[in-house]
Chain A
Amino acid sequence: MQPEELRLDGNAAAGTLREVFAAEVTVMLATCAGCGAERPMGALLEYGDGMGVILRCPGCDRAMLRVARTPEFVRVDASGMSLLAIPRAAE
């Protein structure tokens, strides 16, 4: 695990998360299930350790998104996120 002062943010996880979501995630607005704060996913704190991705709320530190790979699955735990708002492309 990285020490706190070396943590990254949602931008660093964007390539990996694009494989999972098939979309650019950094612009999605995520609401923290803990404190209710809404932020773009690019602004969440990233604590990946090579085994997967963890995005945390900068306000209350709750893990909002966890992505881990097993041989058979990509496991996505978004229970720390109560809402995800995905911008629609210009129509």
Chain B
Amino acid sequence: MAGTAIPGRLTWQVATVVEARDETPRARTLVLDVPEWPGHRAGQHVDVRLVADDGYQAQRSYSIASAPQDAHVALTIERIANAEVSPYLCDVLRVGDGLEVRGPIGGYFVWDVAIGGPLMLIAGGSGIVPLMAMLRHHARATDAVRERIPVRLLYSARTWENLIYRDELERLGESTQVTVTFALTRQAPPGWIGYRRRIDRAMLEELGWPTSDLPRAYVCGPTPLVESVSALLVELGHDPSRVRTERFGATG
């Protein structure tokens, strides 16, 4: 397993935006061509650095959304009002522009088929991004591997319109090996019969793998959600060392 071995130094490089697409009214995916990219593992992130003409620097971390097998690196950025970096990345940056990045970074909040399952993925808001890389990696595996590693995703967002990658997730959920459940916390479309509340203990009991299956859980999103959900999973009897967390801080 990759412990601390790093293929290549972690240095800032200029990546080129080769594609940009809106995922939701608030989220945009940037696909980057990063020279000398060593490849990544699902769950890792990059740091992005912007430098203004006066030398002022702002730096943020963004999870990689693309599968490890892809040649280009996809980041999905959620636009945060009045922020320094995300409005620029969402509204100003264009295909052909350069962007300073360094990475891939991370070794704890990563998953690949070698780690095994069953897999429990729980996301709030933009926390879906690193889990999407895991799902895309899983989708590329052989049928035999996917049979061996079933996946359950629980994804909480404010509204139906804010679910990032919604169509792709619904398609992935059509496979017998992948179960996708959305929980809407603020507003639901007419006829919605799904969850209409924040993720809580009852929802995790209903949807989670039995503790006896020894699942591997990955929880990502706003800090309050990550801490609440991971504590609940441990309360339900899951081994804390099999529950991995990545906090994104404030809600977007």
A: residues with CB less than 8 A from B are 2, 5-12, 14-15, 18-19, 23-28, 40-43, 86-90
The 5 closest A-B pairs by CB, nearest first: A42-B108, A87-B3, A26-B108, A89-B5, A23-B4
15 CB contacts below 8 A, A to B, read: A8-B248, A11-B109, A14-B107, A15-B102, A18-B6, A18-B105, A24-B3, A24-B6, A27-B108, A28-B4, A40-B108, A41-B108, A42-B246, A87-B4, A89-B2
Q: How many A-B residue pairs have CB under 8 A?
A: 83
* Contact residues in A for B68 (Cβ distance below 8 Å): none
Per-residue interface assignment for chain B, residues 80 to 105, with 1 indicating a CB less than 8 Å from any chain A CB and 0 otherwise: 00000000000000000000001101
**CB–CB A11/B106 < 8 A:** yes
**CB–CB A15/B2 < 8 A:** no
**CB–CB B107/A27 < 8 A:** yes
Any A CB within 8 A of the CB of B224: yes
Within the complex, the shortest CB–CB distance from A39 to chain B, in Å, comes to: 9
* Contact residues in B for A10 (Cβ distance below 8 Å): 108
Residue of B nearest to A27 (CB): B107
Residue of A nearest to B10 (CB): A18
* Contact residues in A for B237 (Cβ distance below 8 Å): none
User: Assuming A6-B223, A24-B106, A40-B108, is B45 touching A11 (CB within 8 A)?
Assistant: yes
Give the total of B residues in contact with A, Cβ under 8 Å. 26
Any A CB within 8 A of the CB of B249: yes
Given A2-B249, A27-B4, 7 new contacts (CB under 8 A): A6-B249, A12-B249, A18-B105, A23-B4, A26-B106, A28-B4, A40-B108
